[in-house]
Amino acid sequence: MSDLFEKIVSLSKRRGFIFQSSEIYGGLAATYDYGPLGVELKRNISQRWWNAMVQRHENISGLDAAILMHPTTWKASGHVDAFSDPLIDDKTSKMRYRADQLIEGHIDKLRRKGKDEDADRVYQALVDALNAEDAAKALYDIIMGEEIRSPDSGMFDWTEVRQFNLMFDTTIGPVSNPDNKIYLRPETAQGIFVNFHNVRETGRHQVPFGIAQIGKAFRNEIVARQFIFRMREFEQMEMQYFVKPGEQMEAFEQWREERMQWHLDNGIRPSKLRWHVHEKLAHYADAAQDIQYEFPIGWQEVEGIHSRTDFDLKAHQEYSGKKMEYFDPQTNEKYIPFVVETSVGLDRTVLTLLCEAYREEEVGGESRTVLKFHPRLAPITVGILPLVKKDGMPEMAHRIEDELRQHFSTSYDEKGAVGRRYRRLDEIGTPFCITVDGESVEEGSVTVRHRDTMHQDRIPAENLTAYLLGQIRDWKTS
């Protein structure tokens, strides 16, 4: 793990953003709990997403489907047969790796050594292997041919490559037999597909329209050592947009644009975001691109935009025997709509924002750590600090907090030197601090300290709400 990444993990724990799950028992790998500040940050992000997707589009409705679904769902979707990672074990160290990632690591190494031609050749072989009938064998052949060694032990002592299904299963009801096996959903999308007609009819939608959902998904990830980047239990925010066949590329472009803008509006710098075109299209897709963020661990996916064709609805029609067709009243045609999906990880967005916001700065010879969250996302928007604990200052500060609480999330703090209190609030990303001093009690004005510039304004306490709302509305990311 990089230094910066470790600092973010440590701050997350120290300040109550994110804890290891079941920590008192030694933790459970790749599962995490959100603490008081983390839950606020996460909630602010999911609310912004819901607002951008559901509230602002008259033709998109929300859904909250169950995690447990009829097991045939996952036969139809292809997950039972094909939702797997190609894994290979180092026999010496017993460490397990994803074969495609080992090869990607080898390609990066060749590039760093200036061997671009070799890198291009192996890259092409990787693309071919991922698309091959027997991908496991093709990946194995590359590892053998290139003599790729284990990153941890340095040995060349591999097992075969095997496909490992990522779905968690359990049994439903009192009897444990294979017929009662069900799965924890590995994506939220299928809950949307099986409810296609329910939502269309009750929402009185005509194609094109969308269904949006935020919910948990579960994957038994094998290589999961990167904090909340790759978890076994995580949350997705997905929207499936149903269009007339042939109109999917137009919708794909529209959603590509809207979704990139959403990340920029969260305060992410444009230089930290890029598009990545899939080398291998999933079995259901006719176009797929990811939005990647430059994490301290490198460029990685945050969101996928996929054109899923009519694969899912068609498959559910076949497996359930229920028609998934739509009758288009405009053209009097019947068809199974095509689907463009936007799928973003909520936890991965939390991590993106933590990484983006984290800064260490020198101020007057001292260093400060600051999380530069956009004020709409910051877990706490305003800190209220009486300069000292006497002379009517705490009383006035409490009155101000009561008023501001109606509009913002607030934190009252009267303990210790005011400079230390500012530092603590900087470290959790609070964009504004109100300080109540002697003059405030006498004249009714307070200082507003701005987190990023540390500039202070003096304004009448009665104008605070309007002033802060204006600041948030006109916010520019620094």
- Cβ closest to ligand ATP, residue 337 vs residue 345: 345
Q: Can you tell me the distance from the alpha carbon of 333 to that of 430, in angstroms, rounded to the nearest whole number?
A: 55
- Cβ closest to ligand ATP, residue 118 vs residue 258: 258
Q: Which of 200, 219, 374, 451 contacts ligand ATP by CB under 6 A?
A: 219
Contact 266, 378 (CB under 8 A): no
* CB neighbour burial string for 345-359, b if at least 16 within 10 angstroms, e if fewer: bbbbbbbbbbbbbbe
Using CB under 6 A, which of the segments 72-80, 127-135, 299-307, 328-336 binds ligand ATP?
Answer: 299-307
| Residue 249 φ/ψ, nearest 5 degrees | -70, -35
Using CB under 6 A, which of the segments 109-117, 119-127, 300-308, 424-432 binds ligand ATP?
Answer: 300-308
Contact 106, 118 (CB under 8 A): no
Tokens encoding 248:
């999917």
302 binds ligand ATP (CB under 6 A): yes
Cβ 232 to ligand ATP shortest distance, Å:
7
Cβ 344 to ligand ATP shortest distance, Å:
6
Give helix then strand counts, H and E, for the chain: 16, 23
Percentage helix, strand, coil, to 5, in the chain? 40, 25, 35
**What residues numbered 160-199 form the site for ligand ATP, per CB under 6 A?**
187
Parallel, antiparallel, or unpaired: how do β-strands 181-183 and 209-218 relate? unpaired
Contact 371, 422 (CB under 8 A): no
Using CB under 6 A, which of the segments 10-18, 94-102, 257-265, 339-347 binds ligand ATP?
Answer: 339-347
Strands (E), 81-134: 84-89, 96-98
Using CB under 6 A, which of the segments 322-330, 337-345, 367-375, 453-461 binds ligand ATP?
Answer: 337-345
Using CB under 6 A, which of the segments 102-110, 302-310, 383-391, 398-406 binds ligand ATP?
Answer: 302-310
304 binds ligand ATP (CB under 6 A): yes
Q: Which of 188, 190, 236, 440 contacts ligand ATP by CB under 6 A?
A: 236
231 binds ligand ATP (CB under 6 A): yes
Contact 129, 119 (CB under 8 A): no
Site string for ligand ATP, 107-146 (x = CB under 6 A): ----------------------------------------
- Residue 29 DSSP SS3: coil
344 binds ligand ATP (CB under 6 A): yes
The residue whose Cβ lies closest to ligand ATP is 345
Cβ 290 to ligand ATP shortest distance, Å:
7
Q: Which of 301, 325, 403, 414 contacts ligand ATP by CB under 6 A?
A: 301
Examine residue 296 and say whether the peptide bond preceding it is cis (omega within 30 degrees of 0).
no
> If you ran DSSP here, which 8-state letter would residue 54 be given?
I
Cα-based distances in Å from 256 to 209, 453, 470 = 16, 34, 30
Using CB under 6 A, which of the segments 44-52, 61-69, 149-157, 231-239 binds ligand ATP?
Answer: 231-239
Q: What is the dihedral of CA 183, 189, 195, 197, to 10 degrees?
A: -150
Q: Which of 90, 303, 426, 437 contacts ligand ATP by CB under 6 A?
A: 303
Cα-based distances in Å from 335 to 192, 243, 314, 339 = 18, 10, 10, 12
Contact 428, 37 (CB under 8 A): yes
221 binds ligand ATP (CB under 6 A): yes
Using CB under 6 A, which of the segments 104-112, 190-198, 296-304, 396-404 binds ligand ATP?
Answer: 296-304
> How many residues line the site for ligand ATP (CB under 6 A)?
16
Closest CA to 243 of 214, 213, 206: 206
394 binds ligand ATP (CB under 6 A): no
Give the type of residue at 187.
Answer: E
Cβ 108 to ligand ATP shortest distance, Å:
17
The length of the chain is: 478
Site string for ligand ATP, 345-374 (x = CB under 6 A): x-xx--------------------------
Instruction: Output the furthest CA–CA distance in the chain (Å, rounded).
Output: 80
Using CB under 6 A, which of the segments 64-72, 168-176, 245-253, 342-350 binds ligand ATP?
Answer: 342-350
- Residue 425 DSSP SS3: helix
Using CB under 6 A, which of the segments 71-79, 229-237, 373-381, 382-390 binds ligand ATP?
Answer: 229-237
Residues 6+ apart with CB under 8 A from 133: none
286 Rama sector, left if φ>0, alpha if ψ -120 to 50, beta otherwise: alpha
- Cβ closest to ligand ATP, residue 161 vs residue 385: 161
Cβ 170 to ligand ATP shortest distance, Å:
19
Tokens encoding 141:
């052949």
312 binds ligand ATP (CB under 6 A): no
- Interaction site with ligand ATP (CB under 6 A): 187, 219, 221, 230-231, 234, 236, 301-304, 343-345, 347-348
